[in-house]
Amino acid sequence: MLSILIPTRNRQSYVVSAVRAALERKANDIEVIIVDNSDDVNMIHATLDEFKKDKRLRIVNSTDNTLSMRDNWERGLNESKGNWISFIGDDDLLDPSLQDFLVVLEKNSPTTDVLTWEKGHYIWPDLASETSKVGSFPIGDECKNLVGFKVLEILYQWNNTRNPGSGPSIYHGAYKREFINKIKKLRNGKLFQYEAVDFDAGYTALLLASGVAMSKRSFSIMGSSAASNSGGVNNYKRHKERTKQWNTETPRGLDGSSLCPVDVSLSISTIVYAFQQAFARDHNLNFQTDPKAIINAMSIDIAYESDRRQFEEKRKNIYDSLIRSEWKIYSDLFNPKFMSRQTLNPLRGIYRNRLYVSYSINDAANIYDFFKSISWIFFSAELVGRDYSVHIE
């Protein structure tokens, strides 16, 4: 069985799409668990009333006290029954045919206990006015093994990006139950050690998994809505609101904040850098990140602000924090250029194994409509890594 876990907090309206897509599967080899952390315990039940007769759907009710993201994800995991587990956000969508591929994966590569894949992207209409109208979607068919420690080392190098990524996370990825239990034994019965749960899982997998498989065939779509954390990535005003909310709900604070010379809350780049430093310290990893790479990452991060005034405010705040820090000797390298995301992704069609398509294809009103409009192009899940010229290496 595949357990699809969907944590949500006060964003119940989005989650309908993910539930509908999953429960359209006819077989009983999946379960969908909604892990509610909302203020109104009744809202999620009203929102999903149309699915209440389907026993594959379970709702874990919110508690009297708001939980941190880490604690909420952990209790959802404890409710799951599947031998494979995957987390997605409430505005995301997971292709339930993932279960078909997991059956093949276990036969072809029984030592693999972590699966990751390239993700598709969808912008919800409430965010589309301030970002690109066209996204890309992977259409590959390859599946191969990753050399975990080598990938982990590369993540610490950054390589001219604002965010090196979370690695093979359980968020938009799938972990075998046996591997999760292995981690729990090392962490006093918990899977997640850090508040940045997606990065925590991915880095831990690269460090400890027996086998990590990477599929070029996508099995999920990462949604971005105005209410989501990802929706604040290119909007400094919303980013500050999300950070304030995070600090309120997470008394433990951001991972590794004391290890980052500049204010961690100012940029997604510094948040990731701080987590990396905490993870390296706690696991005795001798990975060194060049501060100039983080200065460059912050410049890239700022460049895609949706509003010129917010760009200037964010630039000033980061620069002020930078010149007060030990990284001030690199301050001349911090020279971001404003680039509105409205100008990005002019492509249409297939280019370099990705499909460039409008988010409003066939008048798609939500991520479910979008998925149904493009899912026909995907390589059959049960054939990935088995037939034709496709191999799990």
Give the residue with greater pLDDT, 393 vs 140: 140
Residue 389 pLDDT exceeds 60: no
Query: Which pLDDT belongs to residue 230?
Result: 61
CA distance 201 to 165: 12
Average pLDDT, the chain: 89
CB-based contact 139:219 (threshold 8 Å): no
CA distances from 114 to 171, 178, 181, 316 (A): 11, 10, 13, 41
Residue 168 pLDDT exceeds 90: yes
What count of other Cβ atoms lies within 10 Å of the Cβ of residue 49?
A: 9
Query: Which pLDDT belongs to residue 130?
Result: 53
Q: Which amino acid is at 188?
A: N
CA distance 256 to 200: 12
What's the pLDDT tens digit per position in 285-341? 999 999 999 999 999 999 888 788 989 999 999 999 999 999 999 999 999 998 765
Query: Which pLDDT belongs to residue 344?
Result: 52
Query: Which pLDDT belongs to residue 390?
Result: 36
Query: Which pLDDT belongs to residue 292?
Result: 96
CA distance 170 to 174: 5
Domains of the chain: 2-228+350-383 (3.90.550.10), 235-303+305-338 (no CATH)
What's the pLDDT tens digit per position in 53-90? 999 999 999 999 999 999 999 999 999 999 999 999 99
Residue 221 pLDDT exceeds 90: yes
Quote the Cα angle for 191-9-116, to 5°. 45
Residue 378: which of 95, 89, 15, 133 has the closest Cα? 95
Rounded mean pLDDT of 237-254?
75
Question: What's 59's DSSP letter?
Answer: E
pLDDT-above-90 percentage for the chain: 68
Residue 113 pLDDT exceeds 50: yes
- Kindly report the pTM of this predicted structure: 0.92
Lowest mean pLDDT among 73-77, 171-175, 182-186, 245-249: 245-249
pLDDT-above-70 percentage for the chain: 92
DSSP codes, 78-106:
HH---SEEEE--TT-EE-TTHHHHHHHHH
Starting from the edge strand earliest in sequence, which strands make up the sheet with 134-138, in order?
134-138, 354-358, 349-351
What's the pLDDT tens digit per position in 3-25? 999 999 999 999 999 999 999 99
Query: Which pLDDT belongs to residue 227?
Result: 77
Instruction: Kindly give the residue spans of alpha helices, DSSP state H, lying in the chain.
Output: 15-23, 43-47, 69-79, 98-108, 125-128, 148-155, 177-186, 197-208, 236-249, 268-282, 291-303, 308-323, 367-374
